[in-house]
Amino acid sequence: MVNYKCASCGTKLDMDLEVLGLTCRVCGEKIFYKIRPSTKKTVISN
């Protein structure tokens, strides 16, 4: 399961990766943002 957030109304959806043609159940929007945990990453450069 992957968590998505609707770009228009902000509704959170849990969808399978095999589902094609995602649409928001509330507003019908087709643009989603993948919800990612807010973690701090440390990068070391030379």
Residues of the binding site for Zn(2+): 9, 24, 27
Which residues belong to the annotated binding site?
9, 24, 27
Token digits of residue 16: 């399978």
Rounded distance between C-alpha atoms, residue 36 and residue 27, angstroms: 22
Contact 29, 23 (CB under 8 A): yes
Specify which residues 43 forms β-bridges with.
none
